[in-house]
Structure 1
Amino acid sequence: MDPQGGHYLNKAAVLSGLGAARMFQLLLGCTIMALVAHGAGFSATYGTFCMFVWCFCFAVTLLVFALDVTRINSCMPVSWDNFTVAFAMLATLMYITASVVYPVYFLSSQCPYEGCEVRNYRIAVTVCSSVCCFAYGAEVFITRAKPGHVVGYMATVSGLLKVVQAYFGCIIFGALANDSQYNRHIPTQYCVVVYSLCFAVTVVVVALTVTGRTSWLRFPFDRFVVVYTFLAVLLYLSVAVVWPIFSFDRKYSSPNRPDDCQRGKCPWDSKLVIAVFTCANLVLYFIDLLYSQRIRFVSQSHA
């Protein structure tokens, strides 16, 4: 028994909607890894990425579930609620990516040379991975901020958007590293600086929140978030104009995809991915700015 007279094990971590979502995540994650290891298989960079996603999310979910059931999470040097909702949001995004990448590169309408049984395994992997997206999304939905409830910053719309922004930043960096030819022009190098700066600050905001160290800042955290988000909107707005000009204008590059461009190793494709996710992140930072203002206003009205 603990000092408060409760049980050592936390029954609510199992007998609740959140517990059910996590057990479903573990079941699907274990099934996916077993199917891949048994017959579906994986190869090359894209397959390794998908396998990393499934193994990483399974391992962290198992750790979160075990710590929550045993109540050891109260001894962890992190803000537990902020950490779990941030990870659930990240896992949702990673699973969505893997659920798209795996069938694109490993699933076809015709049976591969390994046989139709391998294709069936890969279909099962794709289905399980897609369903698991909803399992992690359900955890985000359950733990999100609700009217009248006091929650951590990461459970708010602004906090969840920070995770998405950082993840989109990772996709941009991946495309930059895939022969994007960003070093040909100084303006595109400026774009890389903007991506790096915004990504770094966003990660710092998430890290400070998850570790419960927002008090380390010498000024109010909500004000810092609003000011940074406003600057990020301006920076991304400039990049959303500069990058397409120097990537697709005839004066600096090619507006159309070259015919001899190899799939997966085409600079034009990388530039397009960067342009799309730049615009996506610009929209996210703008929405984040609106919600950050709202959070700051509410906190002041209750002060």
Structure 2
Amino acid sequence: MPRSPIALVLTLLIGLASPVAAQNVATGNQITILYDAFSDKPGLALDWGYAALVEFDGKRILFDTGNNAAMFAANIKRLHVDLSKIDLVVLSHRHGDHTSGLSYVLSVNPNVPVYVPGDETFLQTTPVSFFAPATEDTSLPAKMRYFGGNPPAPPPSHGTAWPAARFHAVTKFTDITPHIHLISTMSETPGFRDMPETSLILDTPQGPIVIVGCSHPSIEAILANVVAQTHAGSIFELVGGLHMVVSTPGQVDHTVSALLDTYHLQRTVLGHCTGEKTFAILRKRLGENYRYAGVGEVLGL
């Protein structure tokens, strides 16, 4: 059946569009911001925390779950997001402003796989060495010995707020699909030392899209890890929080220069703890490639 003139014009326009736009039309790859502290859309709960729905390569991924389960649930319902249809959850790190909504997610989708850092908050067991027999003094009575001197095997797991969750620890470069990956970066930042953080990597023809929670190891450390693991020459887009909300202008300038000059960052969808100073500088430097990421925004990837 012959196509109408309007359909032919639309086809022509799509064909002339940028590769990114054409890819978005063809695949429906997109991100929806579900939880943050700013928005220009009425009726949405605003709070300190982060959550986003990532739809890419045929997968629907919930990245982080916000700071308050009731507020998270309200935004989910307001934005008509069906959590029963998500394929997996990624929790970037253990802080409550990224994990508190998981209880609501599991009430809707109890069997969804949840990918987490290799952090005892979620799933580590107590070290076996804690229960090794004392070599210096074995005269302790049973009532002073752990488990009466007969510790269980395997050792007891550390408690978790989500005992029924299907947790999967991300301790190395992990493939979800051939074009979706997870990576773990250990923080050496004072105040957050030895806290692992998980980031999501999406392969696109323009380069990797990297989705981060709070970047506690520093965004430079995370991107260095991404480049080392993927051998990418540059980073196409950065999504999420950069934890620069209390950084000095000099620190912000240094990081922005690294993003643009070292990693050749082309586009951003930044929010949460990135900080207003960083928003302003990157908006000025990137122009239309700085994309507003308030709650309720749906942005093509």
User: Which TM bucket (shorter chain)?
Assistant: under 0.3
Identify, as 1 or 2, the structure richer in helix. Answer: 1
More strand, by proportion:
2
Greater RCO structure (CA 8 Å; 6+ sep): 1
